[in-house]
Structure 1
Amino acid sequence: MAAGLAEAGVRRLVVVGLASIMPGASGVALMDEPGYPDGYRSFYLGHAAGLDELRTCDLDWAYVAPAGDFDHDGTRTGGYRVAEHGDPASRISYPDFAIALVDEIEAPRHHRSALSVREV
C-alpha cells in the first residue's frame, strides 16, 4: 500500500488510528493490558499491522488515535492535547478529534510517528 502511494507522488499521509494499539501507561499496547476488552482483537491487530507497514515505508506519515475512546455525545470545545500514552478512561469528542486531524494536516508537527489525542 505505502509503496503505491509514494509512486503516485503522495508525500504525506495522516491516518486515523485506534487507541487499542497505542501504548498504555505501562508501555504495552492497550489491547495487551489485563482487562482490556478482547471482542475486537482481530480488528485491533489489523490496525497494528497497518501501523507496522507505515513504520517501514518512506512516506512522511502521522498515525493519530484517540487516547481512549470517543465521547459520542461530546460537543466541540475547540481544544485537545497530545497524550503521552493511551488511556482507556480518556475521551475526546468527534469534533475535537477532527480538529486534531486537520491541525496535523495543515501544520504537520509529528513526522513518522503515532500520537494519541485526548480532551483538554
Structure 2
Amino acid sequence: MARDWPISGATLGKALTLPADKVATELDELDLFARTACSIIDRATGRHVDPARHELPDGSLPLEFTMSAREQAKHMWNQTKSGAGVRGGEPANAAPAGVGLLAKVSVWLAPYPPRIYYGSTT
C-alpha cells in the first residue's frame, strides 16, 4: 500500500475548504468519499489488482494521483451533498450527474494506465 493512499477525509475537507468544525463532524462521511474516489482511481490505473503499480521508489504515488483523488472526491461530494436534490431540484435519490471518472482526472492519469493485457509488466 502506497503511503498517503488512500487520501484522508481531512485531505478532502481541506480540498473542499470546509471549516475545521464541519470537517470534524463530517469526518466519517469525508473518509468514505475520499476512499471511494481512490478506489475508482485504483481501478482505472490497475492498482486494484497490483497495489504497488505506479508506486515511486520512496513508496509514494505520483502527485497526479493525489490531485486526481481530491478532484474526484470533491466532485462526488458536491454532486451528492450539494447537488440539485439538496437544493430542491431533482429528487435526492437521483443518480448524480457525471457519475464515473472525471474527464480531467482521466487526462491526469493517462500516463499511468492499467496493464495492456494479462501478464503485461507495462
The alignment's TM-score, normalised by the length of structure 1, stands at 0.29
Higher relative contact order, chain-length normalized (CA < 8 Å, sep 6+): 1
Higher strand share: 1
With structure 2 as the length reference, what TM-score do the two structures score?
0.29
